[in-house]
Amino acid sequence: MAAKAAYVLLLLGLAARGPAGAAKMKVVEEPNTFGMNNLFVPQSSRLQPRREPAPVSGPEHLFRLAGKCFSLVESMYKYEFCPFHNVTQHEQTFRWNAYSGILGIWQEWEITNNTFAGMWMKDGDSCRSRSRQSKVELTCGKSNRLAHVSEPSTCVYSLTFETPLVCHPHSLLVYPALPEALQQRWDQVEQDLADELITPQGYEKLLRAIFEDAGYLMTPGENGPVLQEGAPAGLGFETLETCRKAHAELSKEVKRLRSLLAQHGIRHAKPTGTSSSEHLAHDTPTDRPPVQPRGDPGLRGSFL
Ligand SMILES: *[C@@H]1O[C@H](CO)[C@@H](O)[C@H](O)[C@H]1NC(C)=O
Ligand SMILES: *[C@@H]1O[C@H](CO)[C@@H](O)[C@H](O)[C@H]1NC(C)=O
């Protein structure tokens, strides 16, 4: 009620003062009035996330950053990084329809050399046929601070976040962050590689599976269609029967892994969509829906 009254007063004020009253808008544009629930922001510039952020994951000492936001004003824009949630951009102007946009929603870690190398925020506002995305690098600094934002390629943003939380040389190592059960799996994978029971490629695959099970990396197919650049093509089956068989085996494996996770109290992302076994029973390869073009937001639109 109070908000509504303030809004009406503001409108009256603007109407009475004419252009000079525009300075009043500054009052409305306070940092935490941005966002979806703000009645003051006209519908067209409200931020509409396409999906929920992924669960908080990674090194536990970074979890305290969840729910906080850090901003950087650079030329005409204010950038805001909310760890484990989103990256947004707000045009710094008093125009009623100032542009605000989502540059990414928390999705997964980038892991290189068994180190948490960056946070990927994806599925931001659309940008031509794709969606905006941001990679946030964490570097050691005296205080928590969004230090730098750039756009190395169109609609892909690169952010640098400084924090004392990553100054210890081991603070971003993956292994110590893992629950014990997954550490043991990793140990076994190392052993198998040393014993030449698996190939280096097999090793990479098994490690990736461990990172997925830990919730650090998104499981392919978990979040809508997997049509990302560089996805391996030709994952086909000769016959429907072999596909069914593989599906049954995978379902069994998923069930086993789920109970293992539950047993150890490890959080994991829930699969989206309906039971695929139902589809499997009715679908033949010829009546599949047409493949969405790369980056088409159509299917993802269902998250709205
Ligand atoms: C971005 O994250 C912050 C912090 O968790 C949240 O308050 C805000 O609503 C989010 N914005 C959008 C557009 O989702
Ligand atoms: C990989 O990580 C180890 C341990 O943190 C480090 O000593 C090494 O320099 C890193 N290698 C590369 C290529 O980054």
Instruction: Give pLDDT, residue 223.
Output: 55
Task: Give the domain-ending residue among 166, 191, 211.
Answer: 166
Instruction: Give pLDDT, residue 236.
Output: 55
Q: Are residues 68 and 142 in the same domain?
A: yes
H or E element at residue 7: helix 2-17
Residue 149 and residue 133: Cα distance in Å, rounded?
Answer: 12
29 within domain boundaries: no
Q: Is the CB–ligand 1 distance for residue 69 below 6 Å? A: yes
Instruction: Give pLDDT, residue 248.
Output: 82
5 within domain boundaries: no
Structural domain boundaries enclosing 111:
43-166
177 CB-side CA count, 13 A: 24
Instruction: Give pLDDT, residue 304.
Output: 42
Q: Are residues 157 and 215 in the same domain?
A: no
Ligand 1 atom closest to the Cα of residue 66 is: 5
Instruction: Give pLDDT, residue 288.
Output: 45
Q: Are residues 47 and 147 in the same domain?
A: yes
Specify the residue with its C-alpha closest to ligand 1, atom 14.
49
pLDDT along the chain (304 residues), means of 10: 47 44 37 45 66 96 97 93 97 84 97 96 93 97 97 96 97 97 98 97 97 94 49 52 76 82 74 45 45 42 40
Instruction: Kindly identify the ligand whose nearest atom is closest to the C-alpha of 175.
Output: 2
158 within domain boundaries: yes
Q: For the chain, how many structural domains are there in total?
A: 2
Instruction: Give pLDDT, residue 296.
Output: 42
Task: Give the domain-ending residue among 205, 223, 241.
Answer: 223
Instruction: Kindly identify the ligand whose nearest atom is closest to the C-alpha of 174.
Output: 2
Give the mutation target among 111, 113, 137, 166 for probing the ligand 2 site: most ligand atoms within 8 A of CB. 113
| Residue type (1 letter), 259 | S
Q: Give the Å distance between the CA of 47 and the centre of ligand 1.
A: 9
Q: Are residues 68 and 101 in the same domain?
A: yes
239 within domain boundaries: no
Q: Is the CB–ligand 2 distance for residue 113 below 6 Å? A: yes
pTM for this structure? 0.62
Q: Determine the length of the chain.
A: 304
Q: Is the CB–ligand 1 distance for residue 67 below 6 Å? A: yes
Q: Phi and psi dihedrals of 144, rounded to 5? A: -70, 120
Q: Give the Å distance between the CA of 113 and the centre of ligand 2.
A: 6
242 within domain boundaries: no
| Structural contact between residues 72 and 79, judged by C-beta atoms closer than 8 angstroms | yes
Strand partners, 135: 120, 158
